[in-house]
Every structure is written in structure tokens, then in C-alpha cells.
């Protein structure tokens, strides 16, 4: 119904004939964005003759560039691109497009030089999506258009396509097109897909096919090989699959002229040093009617540098589209696919279409979305038109906005804006309220402008601020007393040059007297109201207790068991932050001691923390209401002014990764101990998923968040990213993607839909680490990601190259295979095919019992016998409980 209403609304808007550019860009029923770059804003819009799509000017989507016109264009098959936009000023110029977060888009950029400047010098420059490079555009012909295409998932509601000058030539662009795709097509575990080629079974004179024949506006070119025979059918082929190819494409097929020869497709890598990570999609349908004695059957092999993928004895379905592809990216310098007829087959291999893509990784995180929105609002409020204030404010560092400083932790963590210097920028009006949304801001310089109005109270509430310079403006009124109080605590406040500012509390005595009476009346009213509420509360409490109901809200009863520490107490118990235990995104973790006897770990929020108060609050709230032997316990917390700290039980043996890596001075963890750690960690996750109300998703399960106490008992830690999810019909929640690269569930990454199976995926990666002691991502390895590397070795049955050599073959291979099978099922691309944590726990229990019986030794501690007995006695229906 909502889709129908949206279509009707779009038709009404078109009927009215609105010419507003932004509305036209977003009101297309299919969500297409069609920009003719260089089209003057006054030219409004037009209908492109080949596709029937409405194109509009790009003027409202970029703030730089100038309009150009080509000398002469060979239009047939290359679009109507007679106009272009070129960017003679600045290094980075960007298009800012409104999109739907989490949506997969086909993005196409068109470049036609056409000697618009009369210099006959072909341009070369870089093309970025947000903070990451997409490709290098190297225009190869004056009068033919060049296209770059990528399939990419938008991570926010704003998508930025940037042209970056890299040499002497000037960047240009002729058209920019976005088409939303289905989320269950063109799936990758990492990165985006850059198009290499897309072709269908037709000779060289065949039609160039795109929209409206292709509902996603994919552009199909004829294969045109002289060694091929091409056939077609007039009968409709069923294309009701996610890939939904046009009838003009799937109704045709190609076979080799020599039917006994294999059918081969190949191309050469663009990267001579490392090769490409490629995915090749093959589209099939049997379009011929086979006689009773005829069979079409063939083997398909995707051939990479070090690995091959095979589909044996394949038979295309009759008049039904089917799409096959290599399940993991393959490394290749000359990528190749072979279709070879089997001995049973009487007919040669047949194919309708193929697509080849290179996987492009985007490693650099873009600036925190809240910071981006805030600084853009500041820019728009003051109508700043700085040429370098385009694209991502902080990333990449080379193109950071002038007047902004950012904090950088690592490539995968979003940078935060920590300084805003807008001195002498011609600012007018009041101090923008959007500034308060820069929650990590340390320095604010608005001096030497023409700002008016008062000094806002919100500046005093920005706890991270250390320096505020408001000098030499036209500000008026009192200086907030809260700011004066902050000065006493170290804030540096500069206000000279504002003659109409005066300290809080001073001013006209008469106005004070006029205000005094209503203030007294208001205070008296509030006091009376408070007294009334107290009486009601006391009466209710007595009534409730007299009726025998001693219920108190759960949060309050748990809260009362936890201690809230003052900052001075935190300083004392850490001995003035003497001993550092570690450091993470939240801040530094210090060793502490309560009453000189009970060791604790104290995690203190750093000023440059990328997690901040939201994650601090989330972790406190979760740990106040849950308790399990395999979750790290919260001893207390500090939330005083700008000082945030969490006090946990002390885990003497650090994290699991520390021990696997060999950084620990202790002996190698035995196989049984590793399985025990895995089981205990799984039990903690199972409790979050099943035992909590509402259930919780951890969202950052990894080996560094599995901590070990003095008896090597494992406990899950770091709950700042945790989220609750619904039960029943609603089993997932839409949320901004968060987690650690390598451990991050690819389905969640692509759809933004979170459920408990996202934790299962991350735990599967941890199991792989426990067995192999390999890095999760290792570029020097034949397959960078541990799951892809393992899949290759598992297919070879090479267990000795899989298991951590530090174990010295002291393990049962059957148990290891069972763990590997469990781990691979946990990282299944589809969350519905992954086991739940209860199933994982049961399998790990069986493996641990088997391993312990094999060795005849205790697991690690004195309670092992009791643990084993409990393990054997537990049934599959036991619900995890707090222990």
C-alpha cells in the first residue's frame, strides 16, 4: 500500500509540473537520480531520448565548478552529453546526494572531454566515494564518453562523490547516475563492486540494452565474439529472481562455433602488482527445446591465480533465469571462466550473459555522522562558501576541511571533530546552536566576526571544550554564570572586544526588582508542588507495603547494589592513574584497588574518545541489569562533570588475543583450555540472547573482548555498542552499522538490520582464531580474511596447516573438525542458516567433554570435574540463567 501511495504521489507531482530540481531528483518512482552535469539551472529538466529518463541540472548538488560545452560528440550509443562541468579551482570538488542509508546503489559516472577547452589535453584525475578512492579516471579519447560504474552500499543518508585533481589537468564530469538495487543481489563479504564488463549473447551489431528494458538500468553490450554462434527465442523466459535480467538479454544465448571446444571468457587485471579480487556472475537459461535424446550439461570453473571454484555437471533450467558466481573473490592477473561439456552431454555449453567485477575495499572510516551533520548545519547557517568545505570534513586527512581539526584513532573508527576555527570568516547572526552537537569539540574560535545576540548557555554544557574565543564580535547581554564556573575549572574563555557583554548577576537594579516578584511567586508555587508530590509518594508507599506488595522496579534494586564513585575516589583508587592496563576506543584502562585489597580495572573516558557518553551510558545501563558468571561484573561507575569512568572486576590474565598471540609470558593455551574459554564465552552470549529481558546483541564480539581471570575463566566485556532487540514477529532492529572489521557480520553490514545472529557470526570468527591462531585479516595471506583462507584449506583437508602449530599436534582431529564445522556454520552469509548460541553452546560442551576424556586431565582449575559432570547433565532445553 505504501509503495502504491508513493507512486500515486509521484505522478501527481509530475502532473503539477513542478520544476524544483531537488524534488525532481528524488521523486522518480524507481528512486533513480539523474544528473546532467553542466546543464544550466535555468534549463530545468528534459527527457533523455534513449532511456526516457528525466535528467536535471547538477547545480544544486555541488558548490564548485564551471559549465563547459564539447566541440563535437558522436552521440549514437554514447548519450547526449554535449555539456559538462569542469573544476579549475580547489583540489577536491564533491557532489552531495541524498540517498537512503543501507541501500545498495549502482553508481555510474560519465566523462566526455570533447575538447571543450580547445587544448586537446585529455584529463586524468581520481574519483572518490566519501573518504575512499573509487578509481582513477584516465580519459582515453576526445570524442567518446568514458564510464565508471560501481555497486556500493550507502552508509548514511548522504553520499558524496568527489573529483580530486592529481596533476596538471582539470577534472571533468558529464553525468552522474544512481540506481537502487535489491539488497540480495551482488553480495560481497567486504568492499564494493567495480564493474569491469557486462555483456550478453549477441553479435557485434547487437543492440546496446539499458533502461527501460533493464529495470535497474544496467548497461548490456554485445559479446560479439567471432568464434560464437548466437541464438534466441520468442518465448518469454521467467526472470523472477533477484537479478531480473531483461527479456532482450535472457532470451538470447551463445555457444561455441566448434561445439567440442570449451567456452572461455577472460580479461587482464588492472593491477599488475597484486592482481584483482574478482567476482564473475554468469546468467543462464535453456532457451532451446531439447529432444528426448539430447542433453546439455557442462562443468563451470572460475579460474584464479591460486584458487579455482567449480560447478560440476550444470544444466541450465528450461526458460528460467539462473545466476551463478564464485562464492568468494578470487585473485587473478588474467581472470578466466571456462565452460566445458561433460561426457554425458550431447550439446555444447550455452550462456546468456556475464558480468565481471573487481572488489574494491573502502578501509577508511568517514567522519562521525553526528559531527558531519553538525558542521554542515554550521556551514549552511553562516552561508560559508569555502571551496575546500566539500566532501568528508576529516577524511582522508589530506583533504581535511580548513579550520577543522579532527581526532584519528585508526582507519576503521570514524574521526571526530575536536576543533572549529572560524576566526575572521565574516560570520553574521547569533552563535549557531548546531555547535553544541559537536560533542567532542575542545577548541572553538569564533573571534573577529560580526556575531550578535547573547552568549548561549549550551557552551557551558559542552564538557569537552577547553578553549572558547568569542573576542571582537558584537555580542550582548550577560555571560552565563555556568561559563564563569567552568573558567575556575580550567576553561580558557576570551570575550574582549564585545563592549555590550557584562558579567552574570550585574546590570540594571530596577529590572531586578521588577523580576523579583514573579520569581518569588514561581519559587513558592514550585515548593508547594514538590511538597504535594512528596506527600503523595509517602502515602502510596505506605499503602503498597501495607498490602504486602514489596515490589520495587528492577533497575532501582540493582542500581542500589552498585556504587557511584566520585572523581576524587577514582583518582585515589587508581593511585592517580599510576598503572595502565590497556587502551581502547573508549579510553585508557587503569589498575585500581578498593580498600587496598580488592583489585579492579578502571576504564576512563578519554577526551578524544570516539565512543563517548552514549556508549558509556549504554554499558552502565546494561551491566546494572544483567548478571552472569561469564559477563564481566560492574563494580561501580563515575559520572561527575566531564569525568566518566567504569569500574570493573579485575581480570588478572588479560584478554584471549593476548594469550593466542604469544605476547603473554605464560605457557601456550592447551586445546582443552581453549575449548573451555570458547564455551564460557558462548554461555555469556547465550545469556544475553536468551536470558535477558529484553534480549541483547553485543555487537562487538572479538578475542580482545574475551577476558580471563586468575583461573582462566572467560568473561565477555565491553558492552558500549550493545543493543536490545525484539522477540516474536520482530526479530531484528534497523541501526547504524557498528563493530570491528573482520568480525562484522556481512549481512548486517549490507542491510543495517541487526539481530542476535550478528553476534553468532562474530563468535564464529573467534572460534577460527582459537583453532588457528591466525590474524582475522592478513593481507599477505593467499586469502586476506580468515574465513576465506580457512575455506580453501578445509576444501583441501589440510588440518595441519589449519591448527595452531603451538599445540604441537596435542589435539584430537575429530574434535577440531567438529569445531571448524561449527565455526563455518556460524559465518554462513545468510543469518537464517547460522545456528543460535544455544546450539553453539551444546556443540562446544560435547567437544570439551570429548577433549577432556581424551587427555584424562583436568581442564584448568580445581572445579573441572564438577564442571564436566554439569556439562554432561545439561539438556538442550536448559535456559541460560544468571549464576
Q: Which residues of 707-727 are buried (b: 16+ CB within 10 A; e: fewer)?
A: bbbeebbbbbbbbbbbbbbee
Nearest 10 degrees: CA dihedral of 282, 285, 288, 293? 90
616 and 740 fall within a common domain: no
Q: Which of 465, 482, 503 is the last residue of a domain?
A: 503
406: exposed, middle or buried (C-beta count within 10 Å: 0-12, 13-18, 19+)? Answer: buried
Is 837 within 8 Å of 880 (Cβ atoms)? no
CA 248 from centre of chain: 36
342 and 408 fall within a common domain: no
In a domain, 508, yes or no: no
* Residue 72 clears pLDDT 80, i.e. is over it: no
In a domain, 272, yes or no: yes
- CATH number of the domain enclosing 72: 2.60.120.260
823 and 675 fall within a common domain: yes
Neighbours of 403 (CB within 10 A): 18
pLDDT value of residue 79:
53
Is residue 164 helix, strand or coil?
strand
Please work out, in degrees rounded to the nearest 5, the angle formed at the alpha carbon of residue 492 by the alpha carbons of 486 and 493.
85
In a domain, 247, yes or no: yes
pLDDT value of residue 316:
97
In a domain, 191, yes or no: no
Is residue 168 helix, strand or coil?
coil
Residue among 110, 113, 150, 112 nearest 130 (CA) = 150
In a domain, 879, yes or no: no
CA atoms of 477 and 506, how far apart (whole Å) = 10
Annotated binding residue at 603?
Answer: yes
Average confidence (pLDDT) over 671-692: 92
Neighbours of 461 (CB within 10 A): 13
Is residue 800 helix, strand or coil?
helix
Range of the domain at 10: 2-181
162 and 231 fall within a common domain: no
pLDDT tens for each residue of 701-720 = 999 999 998 889 999 988 77
* Residue 791 clears pLDDT 70, i.e. is over it: yes
The band of 224, judged by pLDDT with boundaries at 50, 70 and 90, is confident
478-486 own/partner pairs: CB under 8 Å, 24+ apart? 478/454, 478/502, 478/503, 478/504, 478/505, 478/506, 478/507, 479/455, 479/503, 479/504, 480/455, 480/456, 480/504, 481/505, 482/457, 483/455, 483/459, 485/460, 486/460
DSSP labels, 449-515 = SEE-SPPPTHHHH-TT--EEE--SS--EEEEPHHHHHHHHTT-EEE-TT-TEEEETT-S-HHHHHHH
Average confidence (pLDDT) over 298-318: 91
- CATH number of the domain enclosing 585: 3.30.200.20
pLDDT tens for each residue of 315-354 = 999 999 999 999 888 888 778 899 999 999 999 999 999 9
CA atoms of 765 and 685, how far apart (whole Å) = 14
490: exposed, middle or buried (C-beta count within 10 Å: 0-12, 13-18, 19+)? Answer: exposed
User: What domain count does the chain have?
Assistant: 6
The band of 757, judged by pLDDT with boundaries at 50, 70 and 90, is very high
Is residue 674 helix, strand or coil?
helix
pLDDT tens for each residue of 593-634 = 987 778 999 988 765 554 566 677 777 777 776 778 899 888
165 and 39 fall within a common domain: yes
CA atoms of 530 and 755, how far apart (whole Å) = 44
42 and 142 fall within a common domain: yes
582 and 711 fall within a common domain: no
Q: Which of 140-154, 586-600, 753-767 has the lowest mean pLDDT?
A: 586-600
The band of 863, judged by pLDDT with boundaries at 50, 70 and 90, is very low
pLDDT value of residue 43:
83
Q: Which of 501-515, 531-545, 646-660 has the lowest mean pLDDT?
A: 531-545
pLDDT value of residue 512:
41
pTM (2 d.p.):
0.58
241 and 149 fall within a common domain: no
- CATH number of the domain enclosing 750: 1.10.510.10
Average confidence (pLDDT) over 735-756: 81
Average confidence (pLDDT) over 812-837: 91
374 and 465 fall within a common domain: yes
pLDDT value of residue 506:
53
- φ/ψ region of 433 (left if φ > 0, alpha if ψ in -120 to 50, else beta) reads alpha
3-state DSSP: the chain helix, strand, coil percent, rounded to 5?
Answer: 30, 25, 45
634 and 725 fall within a common domain: no
Neighbours of 292 (CB within 10 A): 5
Q: Which of 92-106, 676-690, 781-795 has the lowest mean pLDDT?
A: 781-795
The band of 254, judged by pLDDT with boundaries at 50, 70 and 90, is very high
Query: Using H for helix, E for strand and C for coil, what is the string for 584-621?
Result: CCCEEEEEEEECCCEEEEEEEECCCCCCHHHHHHHHHH
In a domain, 882, yes or no: no
Q: Which of 119, 149, 181 is the last residue of a domain?
A: 181
Is residue 812 helix, strand or coil?
coil
pLDDT value of residue 610:
45
Q: What is the pLDDT of the chain when averaged over all its residues?
A: 82
693 and 835 fall within a common domain: yes
pLDDT tens for each residue of 399-418 = 999 999 999 888 878 999 99
Residue among 556, 697, 565, 717 nearest 633 (CA) = 717
* Residue 508 clears pLDDT 80, i.e. is over it: no
Instruction: Report CA torsion sign: 753, 756, 757, 763.
Output: positive
The band of 586, judged by pLDDT with boundaries at 50, 70 and 90, is low
pLDDT value of residue 25:
37
pLDDT tens for each residue of 174-214 = 999 999 999 999 988 778 999 999 999 998 888 899 999 99
* Residue 565 clears pLDDT 70, i.e. is over it: yes
Q: Which of 649, 675, 703 is the last residue of a domain?
A: 649
CA atoms of 278 and 308, how far apart (whole Å) = 12
243 and 348 fall within a common domain: yes
CA atoms of 301 and 303, how far apart (whole Å) = 6
pLDDT value of residue 188:
84
In a domain, 58, yes or no: yes
- CATH number of the domain enclosing 206: 2.60.120
Is 147 within 8 Å of 105 (Cβ atoms)? no
In a domain, 668, yes or no: yes
By annotation, the residues acting in catalysis are 700
Amino acid at each position: 500500500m505504501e509503495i502504491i501511495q508513493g507512486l500515486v504521489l509521484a505522478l501527481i507531482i509530475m502532473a503539477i509540473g513542478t520544476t524544483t530540481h531537488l524534488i525532481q531528483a528524488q521523486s522518480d518512482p524507481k528512486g533513480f537520480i539523474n544528473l546532467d552535469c553542466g546543464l544550466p539551472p535555468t534549463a530545468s529538466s528534459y527527457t533523455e531520448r534513449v532511456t526516457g529518463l528525466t535528467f536535471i541540472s547538477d547545480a544544486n548538488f555541488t558548490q564548485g565548478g564551471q559549465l563547459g560545452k564539447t566541440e563535437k560528440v558522436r552521440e549514437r550509443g554514447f548519450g547526449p552529453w554535449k555539456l559538462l562541468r569542469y573544476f579549475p579551482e580547489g583540489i577536491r570538488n564533491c557532489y552531495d546526494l541524498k540517498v537512503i542509508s543501507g541501500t545498495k546503489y549502482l553508481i555510474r559516472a560519465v566523462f566526455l572531454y570533447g575538447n571543450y577547452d580547445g587544448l586537446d589535453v585529455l584529463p586524468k584525475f581520481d574519483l572518490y566515494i566519501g573518504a575512499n578512492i573509487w578509481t582513477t579516471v584516465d580519459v582515453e579519447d576526445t570524442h567518446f564518453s568514458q564510464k565508471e560504474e560501481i555497486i556500493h552500499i550507502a552508509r548514511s543518508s548522504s553520499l558524496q562523490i568527489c573529483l580530486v585533481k592529481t596533476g596538471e589537468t582539470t577534472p571533468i564530469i558529464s553525468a552522474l547516475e544512481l540506481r537502487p538495487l535489491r539488497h540480495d543481489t551482488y553480495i560481497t563479504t567486504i568492499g564494493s563492486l567495480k564493474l569491469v564488463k557486462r555483456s550478453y549473447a549477441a553479435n557485434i551489431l547487437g543492440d546496446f540494452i539499458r533502461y527501460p528494458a533493464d529495470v535497474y538500468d544496467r548497461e548490456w553490450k554485445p559479446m560479439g565474439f567471432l568464434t560464437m554462434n548466437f541464438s534466441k527465442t520468442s518465448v518469454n523466459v521467467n526472470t523472477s529472481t533477484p537479478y531480473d535480467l531483461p527479456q532482450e538479454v535472457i532470451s538470447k544465448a551463445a555457444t561455441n562455433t566448434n561445439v567440442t571446444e570449451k567456452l572461455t571468457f577472460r580479461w587482464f587485471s588492472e593491477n599488475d602488482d597484486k592482481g584483482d579480487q574478482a567476482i564473475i556472475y554468469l546468467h543462464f537459461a535453456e532457451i532451446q527445446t531439447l529432444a528426448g535424446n539430447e542433453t546439455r550439461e557442462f562443468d563451470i570453473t572460475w579460474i584464479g591465480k591460486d584458487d579455482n571454484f567449480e560447478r560440476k555437471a550444470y544444466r541450465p533450467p528450461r526458460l528460467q533465469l539462473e545466476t551463478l558466481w564464485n562464492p568468494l573473490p578470487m585473485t587473478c592477473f588474467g581472470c578466466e571462466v571456462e565452460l566445458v561439456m561433460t561426457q554425458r552431454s550431447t550439446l555444447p555449453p550455452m550462456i546468456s550473459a556475464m558480468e565481471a567485477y573487481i572488489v574494491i575495499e573502502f578501509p577508511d572510516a568517514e567522519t562521525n555522522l553526528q559531527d558531519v551533520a553538525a558542521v554542515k548545519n554550521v556551514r549552511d547557517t553562516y552561508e560559508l562558501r569555502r571551496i575546500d568545505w566539500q566532501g568528508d570534513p576529516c577524511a582522508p586527512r589530506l583533504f581535511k576541511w580548513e579550520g577543522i581539526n579532527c581526532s584519528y584513532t585508526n582507519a576503521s573508527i570514524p574521526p571526530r571533530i575536536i576543533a572549529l576555527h572560524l576566526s575572521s570568516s565574516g560570520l553574521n547572526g547569533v552563535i549557531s546552536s548546531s555547535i553544541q552537537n559537536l560533542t567532542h569539540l575542545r577548541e572553538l574560535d569564533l573571534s573577529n566576526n560580526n556575531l550578535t545576540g547573547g552568549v548561549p548557555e549550551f557552551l557551558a554544557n559542552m564538557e569537552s571544550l577547553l578553549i572558547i574565543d568569542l573576542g571582537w564580535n558584537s555580542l550582548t547581554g550577560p555571560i552565563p554564570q555556568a561559563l564563569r564556573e567552568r573558567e575556575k575549572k580550567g576553561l580558557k574563555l576570551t570575550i574582549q572586544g564585545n563592549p555590550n557583554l557584562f558579567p552574570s548577576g550585574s546590570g540594571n537594579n530596577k529590572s531586578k526588582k521588577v523580576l523579583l516578584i514573579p520569581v518569588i511567586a514561581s519559587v513558592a508555587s514550585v515548593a508547594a508542588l514538590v511538597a504535594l508530590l512528596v506527600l503523595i509518594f509517602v502515602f502510596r508507599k505506605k499503602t503498597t507495603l501495607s498490602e504486602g506488595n514489596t515490589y520495587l522496579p528492577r533497575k532501582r534494586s540493582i542500581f542500589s547494589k552498585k556504587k557511584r564513585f566520585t572523581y576524587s575516589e577514582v583518582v585515589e583508587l587508581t593511585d592517580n592513574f599510576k598503572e595502565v592496563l590497556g587502551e581502547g576506543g573508549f579510553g585508557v584502562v587503569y589498575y585500581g584497588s578498593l580498600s587496598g585489597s580488592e583489585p579492579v580495572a578502571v576504564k576512563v573516558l578519554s577526551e578524544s574518545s570516539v565512543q563517548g557518553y552514549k556508549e558509556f551510558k549504554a554499558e552502565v545501563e546494561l551491566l546494572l541489569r544483567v548478571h552472569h558468571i561469564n559477563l564481566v561484573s560492574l563494580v561501580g561507575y563515575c559520572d561527575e562533570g566531564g569525568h566518566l569512568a567504569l569500574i570493573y572486576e579485575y581480570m588478572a590474565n588479560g584478554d584471549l588475543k593476548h594469550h593466542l598471540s604469544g605476547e603473554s609470558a605464560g605457557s601456550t593455551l592447551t586445546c582443552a583450555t581453549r575449548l573451555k574459554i570458547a564455551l564460557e564465552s558462548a554461555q555469556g552470549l547465550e545469556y544475553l540472547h536468551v536470558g535477558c529481558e529484553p534480549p541483547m546483541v553485543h555487537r562487538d564480539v572479538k578475542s580482545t573482548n574475551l577476558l580471563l581471570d586468575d583461573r582462566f575463566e572467560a568473561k565477555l566485556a565491553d558492552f558500549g555498542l550493545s543493543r536490545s532487540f525484539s522477540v516474536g514477529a520482530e526479530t531484528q532492529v534497523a541501526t547504524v552499522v557498528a563493530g570491528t572489521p573482520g568480525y562484522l557480520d556481512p549481512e548486517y553490514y549490507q542491510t543495517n538490520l541487526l539481530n542476535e545472529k550478528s553476534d553468532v557470526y562474530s563468535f564464529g570468527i573467534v572460534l577460527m582464531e582459537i583453532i588457528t591462531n591466525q590474524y582475522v585479516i592478513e593481507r599477505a595471506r593467499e586469502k586476506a580474511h580468515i574465513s576465506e583462507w580457512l575455506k580453501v584449506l578445509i576444501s583441501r583437508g589440510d588440518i595441519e596447516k589449519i591448527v595452531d602449530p603451538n599445540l604441537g599436534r596435542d589435539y584430537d582431529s575429530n574434535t577440531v573438525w567438529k569445531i571448524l564445522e561449527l565455526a563455518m556454520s556460524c559465518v554462513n552469509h545468510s543469518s537464517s542458516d547460522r545456528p543460535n548460541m544455544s546450539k553453539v553452546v551444546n556443540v562446544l560442551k560435547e567437544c570439551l567433554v570429548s577433549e577432556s576424556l581424551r587427555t584424562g586431565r583436568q581442564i584448568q582449575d580445581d572445579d573441572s570435574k564438577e564442571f564436566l559432570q554439569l556439562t554432561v547433565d545439561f539438556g538442550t532445553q536448559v535456559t541460560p540463567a544468571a549464576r
